Structure 1
Amino acid sequence: MKVLVNTGPAHPLFFPLVPLAWALHAAGHHVLVATPESFEPVVRGAGLRMAPVYGPLDMGEVMGRDREGNRLRVPDSEEEMADGVGCGFARLAVRTLEPTVELVGSWRPDLVIGESYSFASAAIAAAVHGVPWVKHTVGPGDLPVTAALARELAPELKEHGLVEMPRPDLVLDNCPPLMGGPAPDTTPVRYVPYGEPGVVPDWALRPGVRPRVLVTLGSVQPQIGGLPALAEMLAAVAELPVDLVVAVADHLVPGLGPLPANVIAAGWQSLTAVLPGCDLAVHHGGPGTMMACSFHGLPQVIVPGRGKPLDEIRRLAATGAVTEVPPAELTPHALRDACRTLLDDPGRRERARALRDHIAEQPSPLRVVGVLEELAAAR
């Protein structure tokens, strides 16, 4: 079977698809990734083959400007954000659509898989050539973008003889029941974290003398006032009897200034490399980070960033495995106390491990391969 995997050129979109792509390859199927050429190093790092469907591309420019190149204002509400994100991915589809249609026509895949944001070009190309297509969620809290995609892509849909956005033949949902998934009429698939390959730090391979706390807030979180405020947060958490690992972008580390002796400024780290060596994670609520921590059975302190899946974060908080600290309530002492509570309460660690076991009960990507084989064979 030949399978075309379509993704936008962004790590949070592509990484959730990699385990399924590996499972398909391990089962003897031919997998090809379609994405703009600027994403080639990431696809190559995942050990997968790629067909570029656009040249170099800056996702920030695509999402932040309209078709005429005018700068767009930042959305004020969650509803506006969903609409804006959908229109942004439609503009990405405008660039990649015709090359994707041509690729599907020439390579003739038996199945097309697209992630749940930049799926439009894959969906249209599959419909044009009569190939079944599958939508794969990228984590909990997927925004509803289909309506905005259809509205923005109305000229392209009409050009290809379509009156609406093609509906997927199958939806794979990697959000486990405790976090609100899988959605009705979807097929569950286990979330398996993937991170770019590389050297695992020496400290992550050794048991810690004290609890090891990972802080990974992406880049700078505006709601905590940037690097000076982050440094204050770290100093407060470092007052606990812990070893604190700060995993932020490499260029941000110098801006943190002098740090306490029990703080490791690790720079950027692949979560799959370091989470098994940690006992607690503090992060901004990104779906991939949240799911990777849950997969490894870690208690979590989440300071939700803008646009993060609040409903799913609160479902996890209700299990006891997660503590949410709203940005408006965030102070150095509040963050320190949240970490202390999770570390001192054995019941919280047990609930985090129960969440890990819950995720493990979902069908693995390898099991889902059989479902995809049946779908392709039926067509």
Structure 2
Amino acid sequence: MRVLFVINPETTTLLPMVPMAWALRTAGHDVRVASQPGFAKEINQAGLTAVPVGRDMDMYRLVEVAMDVHDDIGHGLHRPFDVVDDPAKATWDRMLPGYAEAVAEEHRRENFPIIADLVDFAVHWEPDLVIWEPSTYAGGIAAKACGAASARQLISIDMFGVTRDHFLRLKAQRPPEERADPLAEWLGGYARKYGGEYTEDMAVGHFTIDQLPPSLRREADLHNVPLRYVPYNGVAVVPDWLWQEPERPRVALTLGWTAGERFATYTVDVQTALDALADLDVEVVATIAEAAQKELRVPDNARIVPFVPLHALAPTCSVVINHAGAGTLITTAGYGIPQLTLPWDIDEPELSRLHSAQGAGLTIRGDLASEEEIRTQVRRLLDEPSFAQRARDLRDEIHAMPTPNQLVPQLEELTAKYRTASR
């Protein structure tokens, strides 16, 4: 069959989807990855065939716009998606304008540059299955236009699906004349343009591929298909110092590729974190972007590097301190390592809360993490056996999920079920 992946041009969005694309390709299926033209090189570096569509747009400029619009940026999800963090916020008067803002300020701007070209390609190539990252609604539009089965592949908590559940529940309680739906109205306009009508699969897919283990999920009332997260860090080299077993417990400090490379700064104060670990009998490995290394005082027990593949570093560690980015957290969890998470924004606080509730780690809000707190929590993770045991339990939970190769037959069955019969 033909499988089309659709993603926004962001490395942290691409990397979690690569193993599934490889699995489909090695099973004999034809796989293409569509994104903005300037992202084609990164897709090619992952060994995949790129389809440049539309025009390039600076996605980080959109982030800046969102920060100007929302006064709650920096403390988790903003409305309407903050119902994932706090279901009490799920009221019609709050969610309806929140959805309208999200469609107008985020979804339209992120997706508009590629929709027309993407649909043209999909109608021409006729994929059987379109797999799209949840914010890339252009994938759902293209699947509707060409009659393909439509699947979302999650890279973190399903904030879009859970929010949609709340919204549809509230919408059903309103009088018929008051059932506005900004997302359905926006996507429905494209459905009609291409000869169809809006159906809910345009918003949430026919099914959802979920890479989080059960204890870290926030599931919507949808057809969920579990998939084991397989770490892929892109082009990477394992340094020779990592070949040797550490002489002391190793503590990694990694705060995210995007913050360091794009903004040359982190929410967490790096110097504070290094100072917190300086007097512990540990070996510290901190992956800090070169631009953010300037003027750092590096303790004697610390090694500062711009990058090292996490799937090579994490298994050698006793504790990993991180920002609770989904890829970082799940990669580390897959090796059974306790974590101290220092979240700040978007999905990080909720993912950190779920991880801590599972017992595999501890958490401090990133912008409030003091030297004393970091030191105290790391000592607990090193000294209290329960954290290591719960981290191993979480690892086992992850390893019980089907690998990308094992999932391929199920995707074949679901594609046959959901693609239009006329194709």
TM-score over 0.5 for the pair: yes
Q: Give the 3 Å change call, closer, same or farther, for CA 153–134 of structure 1 in structure 2.
A: closer
User: 2:341–2:364: 8 Å Cα contact kept in structure 1?
Assistant: yes
What is the aligned partner in structure 2 of residue 123 from structure 1?
140
Shift of 1:338: 0.6
Say whether residues 1:73 and 2:63 are aligned partners. Answer: no
Question: 1:52 maps to what in 2?
Answer: 52
Report Cα offsets for 1:111-145 as digits up to 9, x if no partner.
11111111x11111111111111111112353457
Alignment partner, residue 232 of structure 1: 272
1:250 to 267, 290, 310: 290
- Shift of residue 38, structure 1, vs aligned partner: 1.7
**Deviations 1:100-119 (CA, angstroms, capped at 9, x unpaired):** 1011111121211111111x
Q: 1:214 aligns with which of 252, 256, 277?
A: 252
Query: Given the alignment of the two structures, is residue 99 of structure 1 paired with residue 117 of structure 2, yes or no?
Result: yes
Mapped partners of 1:39, 1:371: distance in 2: 30
CA distance in 1, matches of 2:149, 2:227: 19
Tell me: CA distance 1:364–1:173, structure 2 relative to 1, closer, same or farther (3 Å).
same
1:338-357 equivalent positions in 2, closer than 5 A: 338-357=377-396
Q: Distance in 2 between matches of 1:183 and 1:281?
A: 30
Letter in 2 for 1:111: L
8 Å contact kept, 2:157–2:347: no
* Residue identity matched to 2:69: R
Mapped partners of 1:150, 1:92: distance in 2: 17
One-letter amino acid matched to 1:53: V
CA contact 2:289–2:307 (8 Å) conserved in 1 = yes
Indicate whether 1:173 and 2:210 are aligned: yes
CA contact (8 A) 1:173 1:183 kept: no
Matched, 1:160 2:197: no
Aligned-partner Cα distance in 1 for 2:108–2:312: 34
How big is each residue's C-alpha offset from its partner over 1:196-217, in whole Å with a ceiling of 9 and x where there is no partner?
Answer: 1221122222210011111112
Instruction: Show the counterpart of 1:140.
Output: 157
Confirm whether residue 304 of structure 1 aligns to residue 343 of structure 2.
Answer: yes
Q: Which residue of 1 aligns with 2:5?
A: 5
Equivalent position of 1:23 in the other structure: 23
Q: What SS class does the counterpart of residue 362 from structure 1 fall into? A: coil
Aligned equivalents of 1:260 and 1:287: distance in 2?
A: 29
Rounded Cα–Cα distance in structure 2 between residues aligned with 1:30 and 1:191: 22
The 8 Å contact of residues 238 and 260 in structure 1, kept in 2 or not, is answered as yes
Equivalent position amino acid for 2:51 in 1: A
* 1:264-289, Cα deviation, whole Å (9 max, x unpaired): 11113332232223221111111111
Question: AA paired with 2:293?
Answer: V
The secondary structure found in structure 1 opposite 2:151 is strand
Give the counterpart letter for 2:157 in structure 1.
P
SS in 2 for 1:254: coil
CA distance in 1, matches of 2:384, 2:305: 27
SS in 1 for 2:143: helix
- What CA distance in whole angstroms lies between the structure 1 residues aligned with 2:199 and 2:303? 48
Q: Which residue of 1 aligns with 2:314?
A: 275
> Secondary structure of the residue that 1:338 maps to in structure 2?
helix
| Greater displacement, 104-113 / 74-83 | 74-83
Moved more, 306-315 or 277-286: 306-315
2:403 aligned partner: 364
SS at match of 1:80: coil
Q: Secondary structure at the match of 1:260?
A: coil
| Greater mean alpha carbon deviation, residues 296-305 or residues 8-17 | 8-17
CA distance in 2, matches of 1:92, 1:361: 35
Deviation at 1:351, TM superposition (A): 1.4
Cα deviation, residue 24, structure 1: 0.5
Judged with a 3 Å threshold, the aligned counterparts in structure 2 of structure 1 residues 319 and 63 are, in CA distance, closer, same or farther, namely: closer
Q: In structure 1, what is the equivalent of residue 92 of structure 2?
A: none
* AA at the equivalent of 1:212: R
Structure 1 pair 92/232, CA: closer, same or farther in 2 (3 Å)? closer
Displacement of 1:15: 1.6
Match in the other structure for 2:178 = none
Task: Using the TM superposition, name which of 71-80 and 132-141 deviates more.
Answer: 71-80
User: By how many angstroms is 1:64 displaced?
Assistant: 4.0
| Counterpart amino acid of residue 155 in structure 2 | V
Look up the match of 1:377.
416
Unaligned runs of 5+ in 2: 82-98, 165-180
In structure 2, how many angstroms separate the alpha carbons of the residues matched to 1:262 and 1:248?
16
Contact 1:35/1:50, CA 8 A, preserved across alignment: yes
Alignment correspondent of 2:90:
none
- Between 1:230-239 and 1:352-361, the stretch displaced more is 230-239
Aligned residues between the structures: 369
Looking at structure 2, the residues matched to 370 and 154 of structure 1 have their Cα atoms a distance apart, in angstroms, of 32
Instruction: Provide the TM-score with structure 2 as the length reference.
Output: 0.80
| 265 and 110 in structure 1: CA distance in 2 versus 1, 3 angstrom threshold | same
